[in-house]
Amino acid sequence: MLRRTRAMWGSRRVWQPRLVFWTGAVTVGLVSVLFAKLADIAQFGFHAIIGDGDGWRGLLPLLVTPVGFMLCAWAAHVYFPNSQGSGIPQAIAARHLRDEEERSRLLSLRMVVGKIGLTLLGLLCGASISREGPTVQVGASIMLQVARWGGMAQAKGLILAGSAAGVAAAFNTPLAGIVFAIEEMGRTYQARTNGLVLTAVILAGLASLGLLGNYTYFGIAEGTVSFVADAPLILACGVIGGSLGALFSLLVLKGTRQIRRWNVLQPLLRTLLVAGLCGIGVALIGIASGGLTFGTGYAQARGAIEGAPLPWFFFVGKLAAGVLSTVSGIPGGLFAPSLAVGAGIGSSLSLIFGGGTGIAALLGMAGYFAGVVQAPMTAFVIILEMTGNHDNVIALMVTAMLGYGTARIISHEPLYHALSRIFVADAIRRYRAEAATSSMHREPVIRS
């Protein structure tokens, strides 16, 4: 047994893939931290441009935002195709593709550069986007490249591991990364990949902790839900939050599909036109809200959790800005903006149903986010870890399930998976076009 153990660890075929995998997981953590820092700088840069929103500088978004949107959309269309949007649908689609060339269209080191750069540019021009979804595509791209370099055959498992590591490092939420991989990315539990996911999350998390230390994304939330007194608030946050989350998903899906059909005749010209119009819409909403709806919404959400009420109109404007930013064709995620919308919903509902603003914001986040992504476990676990308050576990679970159930009644398509089918359909069309013009046999690109 001792000789066999020495032979196993002495074999280059055994330790080399492991070493490459570990290096890749640590790299995901380091890149995620760097991305987070640059995103904060980009958002600060936009607010430095517009100042306090008074005078002529307050009108600069009418120029900066649409021009920035058009520049992002142009670069994504010409140099980084398939970088548009969150990045999570691309990672999901890549797990269903069998052909290596098709996977590379969605996940590659080129995509890492484009996704990070264009997301930062979007934040610099005031788009209502965030870095967390793009970090998933970045993490999956890094781990898939690791598989190519290390000669590892578990591409699907490595994409899953990279996605989980990206979520864990982006929020400092290791449990949420694992739950996200199981519930949202895979939709099923696969025992053979759990070791990859756990190892990637641990190593990426350690890299993040080494640079930033241990922290909670929104700080420590105080206050405890009283099920007797706050039952109406829980019900309202779950049902209303889930309904609005489903509305957001429907608007994004229908808008994305309509725009893609409309763009077919003149792809680049119409892509730029849509991006410019969406940029103008985001700018007008931002100016009307006093600048509250620009960017990720992190500051507004954290303020609500800490007890500072948000204006009643905030969640309406932030939801609309999020829809326009998502369908505009620019890269950028919707995690943080969705949490900000949820915090605004909860803050507004607390004026009607009572309860503290901080508690209501947490419940609103759980209900709305569960409604958007239709992944209730991910919703309550990620909020639990981001706020460090374990006294409200059951309340968050109930609200997330109410939000999920309500959203399923309104919309039967989970947002990320519905969007991923667009990329899978593109791969099928390319395969059929090539098959029609070539007599050479090619292995199907889609896994059965």
Report the number of distinct structural domains present in the chain.
Answer: 2
Domain membership flag for residue 11: no
Sign of CA dihedral 119, 122, 124, 126: negative
What is the greatest pairwise CA distance in the chain?
78
Least Cα distance to 294 among 272, 329, 327, 322 occurs for 322
Sign of CA dihedral 427, 197, 184, 186: positive
Residue type, 422: I
Do 392 and 249 share a structural domain?
yes
Q: What is the pLDDT of residue 162?
A: 86
Domain boundary among 183, 212, 241: 212
Domain membership flag for residue 428: no
Do 311 and 342 share a structural domain?
yes
Domain membership flag for residue 350: yes
**Whole-prediction pTM value?**
0.90
Please name the residue that has the structure tokens 């039952």. Answer: 231
Domain membership flag for residue 298: yes
Q: Is 97 helix (H, G, I), strand (E, B) or coil?
A: strand
Do 195 and 53 share a structural domain?
yes
Domain membership flag for residue 425: no
Domain membership flag for residue 43: yes
Do 245 and 140 share a structural domain?
no
Do 89 and 179 share a structural domain?
yes
Domain membership flag for residue 442: no
Do 208 and 241 share a structural domain?
no
Domain holding 23, by residue range, is 16-212
Task: Say if CB 345 and CB 334 are below 8 A apart.
Answer: no
Do 293 and 368 share a structural domain?
yes
Residue 117, number of CB atoms within 10 A of its CB: 17
Do 288 and 144 share a structural domain?
no
Q: Report phi then psi at 25, rounded to 5.
A: -65, -40
Long-range contacts of 254-259 (CB under 8 A, 24+ apart): 255/323, 255/326, 255/327, 256/85, 256/326, 256/327, 256/419, 256/422, 257/422, 259/327, 259/329
The residues pairing with 446 across neighbouring beta strands, listed in sequence order, are 97
Domain boundary among 150, 183, 212: 212
Domain membership flag for residue 427: no
Do 177 and 59 share a structural domain?
yes
The beta strand positions in 267-388, using DSSP E, are none
Do 371 and 253 share a structural domain?
yes
Task: Say if CB 144 and CB 94 are below 8 A apart.
Answer: yes
CATH number of the domain to which 132 belongs: 1.10.3080.10
Q: What stretches in the chain show pLDDT beneath 50? A: 7-9, 448
Do 48 and 162 share a structural domain?
yes
Do 99 and 243 share a structural domain?
no
